Amino acid sequence: MEHHGGAMSFSGLDGYEEFFADPVKRQIWIGGGMSPAKSKQRLTNQEVAKILEDFLEGKGDDWVWDDFTLGTSFGDHRLETIRIRCVGLSQEYPPKNPGEYTNDEGQQVIRNYIKDLRSGN
């Protein structure tokens, strides 16, 4: 899994519609980033699942993953536990190839979190 993140251009309106069509990106933009506790605490299980899924698929922007894993903690214990576990996955399940965050087992941990968050478990 190589994670590059998408490039966004703000010269003119390039990417404007696509960026704001994504509810997670819109929430981060409106909230001024996830670093302020108020913004991060408003993320739903579905939005966190989307961040995880985008990261796995290499579709998310690097800064979205960084804002999710670093900075302010979640008030929700479950989401905070997921955040902390994701931070340590690259050490727990070291990547096999350069440019990867974690190996297949670590990626499966993230997939399991996505499934659980979407099912409400």
pTM over 0.85: no
* pLDDT of 71: 74
**For residue range 59-109, what is the model confidence (pLDDT) as tens digits?**
978 788 888 998 778 888 999 999 999 999 999 999 999 989 999 999 999
User: 41: closest CA among 15, 71, 63?
Assistant: 71
Maximum C-alpha span of the chain: 43
**For residue range 69-78, what is the model confidence (pLDDT) as tens digits?**
987 788 889 9
CA angle 55, 61, 64 (to 5 degrees): 80
